[in-house]
Amino acid sequence: MACSSGYAQGVMISNSNSYAIPPRVVRPSASYARGRDGAQRQQRSGSIKRLVLNNEGRVKLDPSSDRGFYDFPRFVTHVDDAFLQTLTELYRSRIPPDSEVLDLMSSWVSHLPPEIKYKRVVGHGLNAAELARNSRLDSFFVKDLNEDPFFEIGDESFDAIICTVSVQYLQNPEDVFAEIYRMLRPGGLCIMSFSNRMFYEKAIAAWRDGSAVSRVQLVVQYFQCIEGFTAPEVIRGNIQISSSDKPSNPVEWLLGLFRASQRDPFYAVIAYRNFKPI
């Protein structure tokens, strides 16, 4: 993709067996910083009503480049199968067929329901080898959002934007969520899913030092700080055992409860641009 306004930008790549590594990204002023370029970028994005994080909340234990940290591909899933099944079912129920989808901070698998056809799925991430392995993507680009939180993508380009277990690494979430708003079509939705797992040294302090409740509230505030998002909806995974599923043996039933309690907890926060379609 072409660069503009002096910002280096990730390269859009068709998802084939070949890929290119984009140039090193140069960090711009974030939109909350004063400066003409930042102000122009914010005008293109959704309006940021207030900042959620203070400077201390944005700090990572490992301040080195995220591009370097993720340079080696990791062909693993970072949460368990129960979490991923819940996530895929959520996508199945919320993202209509023939939608255009942006998979933000993606990897080698997108967890979208395999039987549903989408018009276009674009992937973004930090490792080109992982993204190239993702067969669900029609194209992808590599970009460090902590160095440049702005996208060279047109306004109202997507019906859905998803982000799986990665929101905890954003140091400028207000800018990123403003851009999410800009890239969504009216009535489009954003699904942010997460658990209690993280690369501890790369998570921001506000997330790292928080609890499950405070982390959910943090993502809720990310949506609330942008003018135009609907009231965020919170989905929490829980243990539900119907009477037909309960083993007749009390010991097996207790073991089943214990195993369920060891699963990765599921959380998702969902909001729509302007309105929720009926």
The answer to whether residue 15 sits within a structural domain is no
- What is the C-alpha separation between 206 and 218, in angstroms, rounded? 8
Which residues, including other chains, have CB under 8 Å from residue 260's CB and lie 6 or more apart? 239, 241
Predicted pLDDT of residue 83: 87
The answer to whether residue 6 sits within a structural domain is no
Backbone angles phi, psi at 163, to 5 degrees: -150, 120
The answer to whether the beta carbons of residues 197 and 264 sit under 8 Å apart is: yes
- What is the C-alpha separation between 97 and 263, in angstroms, rounded? 30
Backbone angles phi, psi at 159, to 5 degrees: -90, -25
Backbone angles phi, psi at 265, to 5 degrees: -65, 145
The answer to whether residue 5 sits within a structural domain is no
What's the predicted TM-score (pTM) here? Answer: 0.78
- What is the C-alpha separation between 10 and 191, in angstroms, rounded? 23
Residue listed under structure tokens 């080696």: 72
Predicted pLDDT of residue 202: 87
The answer to whether residue 143 sits within a structural domain is yes
3-class SS letters over 213-240: HHHHHHHHHHHHCECCECCCEEEECCCC
Number of domains in the chain: 1
Predicted pLDDT of residue 132: 94
Structure tokens at 179: 């851009």
Predicted pLDDT of residue 247: 58
The answer to whether residue 55 sits within a structural domain is yes
* Type of residue at 151: F
Backbone angles phi, psi at 273, to 5 degrees: -80, 120
Predicted pLDDT of residue 35: 41
Query: pLDDT tens per residue, the chain (278 residues)?
Result: 333 333 233 444 444 433 333 333 333 335 444 344 555 555 567 899 999 999 999 999 998 888 777 776 664 566 788 888 999 999 999 999 999 999 999 998 899 999 999 999 999 999 999 999 999 999 999 999 999 999 999 999 999 999 999 899 999 999 999 999 999 999 999 999 998 876 778 899 999 999 999 999 999 999 999 999 999 999 998 544 444 455 567 655 555 544 555 678 999 999 999 999 98
176: domain CATH number is 3.40.50.150
The answer to whether residue 12 sits within a structural domain is no
The answer to whether residue 56 sits within a structural domain is yes
- The whole domain housing 142 covers 38-272
**Exposed e or buried b per residue across 74-112, where buried means at least 16 C-beta atoms within 10 angstroms of its C-beta:** eeeebbeebbbebbbebbeebbeeebbbbbbbbbbbbbb
The answer to whether residue 254 sits within a structural domain is yes
Q: How many CB atoms lie within 10 A of CB 263?
A: 16
